[in-house]
Chains A and B, each alone.
Chain A
Amino acid sequence: DGGITQSPKYLFRKEGQNVTLSCEQNLNHDAMYWYRQDPGQGLRLIYYSQIVNDFQKGDIAEGYSVSREKKESFPLTVTSAQKNPTAFYLCASSLQGAGETQYFGPGTRLLVL
């Protein structure tokens, strides 16, 4: 079964702590994306990667970091510099190229203790 997986489903962060959200896909997609979803707001793009070993900042990259060492994996680290990290985080992937459909993982809900 092809798809996108995210783990964990829920994640708790203490003040000053970095946490890493996992995203894996077996759709053989080149492009991967991280979004943040807050109540009353649309999905906002954090980072995206069009190909292995390359990634670009999205609209709200401050306080986040990513890596793309493998085609299948695009982990997101929420650093202590992100002052308001509580949100629903969604990972997506697509074939490379404009106009390609993005397919989403089930999401990780991050809560701050």
Chain B
Amino acid sequence: GQNIDQPTEMTATEGAIVQINCTYQTSGFNGLFWYQQHAGEAPTFLSYNVLDGLEEKGRFSSFLSRSKGYSYLLLKELQMKDSASYLCAVNRGGATNKLIFGTGTLLAVQP
């Protein structure tokens, strides 16, 4: 079957670092995406990993281990505006560009 697991909720403090984990079991794989979604708004693209390793983009980094079916999103120097849901999505592979999404992790940043 196809399954993506993320923690439902996390809480962190302004200025701190938080790591959001994602594990997946899918029949195909052609990369993993992270999106940010504020309540009632559209998901916005954060990162894409297709090869093992760490991708860094400003305060946000994303890591992938294909052999372990594991990814994480690392947010540094947390700001109040980072309070949002973070969605992990796996590209299913094959000729199409279909994604399967996890349920999302709701991050609350506290002062």
A-chain residues with CB within 8 Å of residue B21 when the two chains form the complex: none
A58 to B44, CA, bound (A): 22
A47 to B97, CA, bound (A): 12
Q: What does DSSP make chain B's interface, helix, strand, loop or mixed?
A: loop
Choose from A43, A94, A104 the contact partner of B97 (Cβ within 8 Å).
Answer: A94
A93 to B43, CA, bound (A): 12
Number of interface residues of B (CB under 8 A): 28
- A15–chain B nearest beta-carbon distance, Å: 26
Is A42 touching B87 in the complex (CB atoms < 8 A)? yes
Q: Could you list 13 further interchain pairs (A-B, Cβ under 8 angstroms) beyond the known A98-B95, A102-B45?
A: A40-B103, A42-B89, A43-B87, A48-B96, A50-B96, A96-B97, A98-B97, A99-B50, A99-B91, A102-B33, A102-B97, A104-B35, A107-B40
Partner-B contacts on A (CB < 8 A): 31, 35, 40-45, 48, 50, 56, 58, 88, 90, 94, 96-107, 109
